[in-house]
Amino acid sequence: MKRYCLKDVAEIYSGATPLTKNKDFYENGAISWITPKDLSGYNHKYIYSGQRSITEEGYRSCATSLLPEGTVLFSSRAPIGYVAIAGKELCTNQGFKSFVCNDEVLFNHYLYYYLIKNRDKLEALGNGSTFKEISRKTLLDYQIDLPSVEEQKKIVQDLVDLDNRYENNCGIIKSIDELMECLYCKFFEDEDITYDDMDLGSVVEIVTGGTPSTNNENYWSNGIYYWYTPSDVTSSDSIISYESQNKISVSGLANSSAKLIPPMSILMTSRATIGEATINKYESTTNQGMLALIPKDERLSILQLYYWIKRNKKKIASIANGSTFKEVYKKDMSKLQLGINENATVEYMKKTKRLFELYESLTSENKLIGELKNCILDTVFN
């Protein structure tokens, strides 16, 4: 084991932003350009593109750098500590410090896992009044103990294997999702099938949520009920959700407008980002930024409802009201119509039953992979 400064084992690059008012810097851009926002809720090791790309002209206009495949990206502000590996050549904005490792001394995957495990330690090195930022100089001088590259590879091999398994599962999960959506279109968007147009409120119970007082610790400590907020849903990137970030207690439920939602219901965001949805695996509650939709008609399956929401986001967003922020209210949501056909529902449920079971199995396995990775990280980088 030998101690190094990061400047001795990696080149550290900052990023930059082309002038946002100049459309020529962004429109039809082919250069992947990553911001910390792109890693918010991002649950993958490799990143290939962000929400926006930049043009060659945009690239030349600013001080960002093209980073080679394998570069370790580390968000250095707003917030500090998001980590990913460049899956292709790309560049970043100024919210990153990116590491091009000297592969004779530092294995990039070892650094990737080290940064994940030591996020709190690195975040504490940040400075700033408006928002915390860790400077390039601080990172250049940051000291790290390293075994040989061969030993580094052995140390993180189990983590690399788990991440590969996770990504393989994600590919299958995505394919299953696409297939179930295609089947939805076949059974519920077919011009040759006759549907009964029903008000959503007649076939679904719509339930609002609430927030227990955050000043009362008893409402939150020893919580037993999952309490979903819009951020839990927008960051899940999955048809089904197994847990929320926070839980509330029995007294928290009793002393708020939050309500118990049975398993296998739809939890939909109704304000800020409108129309994002997931299916709760377990009994849950929500805050006031959510609507829960509980099917009460046997002619409507939970997957049919999920894909109806997914494919009608614009329609749902169009009924939002509010001056401070847009929100979809229960009374307006209940008036939206969806097509019901009992035979189509029966056939759709038959076709998707095994697919959804496999989807659940793989998402559950990925959850376990995440837990196992945390245990290994605690052991390896303790």
Tell me if 266 sits within 8 A of 279, measured CB to CB: yes
Give tens-digit pLDDT for 176-216: 999 999 999 999 999 999 999 999 999 999 999 999 999 99
Rounded to two decimals, what is the model's pTM?
0.91
Residue 361 tokens read as 């199995």
Q: What are the tokens at 302?
A: 């939970």
CA distance 288 to 120: 31
Q: Characterize the bridge pairing of strands 72-76 and 96-101.
A: antiparallel
251 contact partners, CB below 8 Å, separation of at least 6:
218, 219
Rg (CA), the chain: 24
- Tens digit of each residue's pLDDT (9 = 90 or more) over 245-294: 999 999 999 999 999 999 999 999 999 889 999 999 999 999 999 999 99
Go through the chain and tell me how many residues it has: 382
Beta strands in the chain (DSSP E): 2-5, 10-14, 31-34, 46-47, 52-54, 72-76, 80-86, 91-92, 96-101, 143-146, 196-199, 204-208, 225-228, 240-241, 246-248, 266-269, 277-280, 284-286, 290-295, 337-340
pLDDT tens by residue, 312-366: 999 999 999 988 889 999 999 999 999 999 999 999 999 999 999 999 999 999 9
Task: Identify the pLDDT of residue 211.
Answer: 98
Strand partners of residue 196? 340
Sign of the torsion angle spanned by Cα atoms 71, 76, 79, 81: positive
- Tokens encoding 317: 């967003």
pLDDT digits (tens, 9 = 90+) for 78-131: 899 999 999 999 999 999 999 999 999 999 999 999 999 999 999 999 998 788
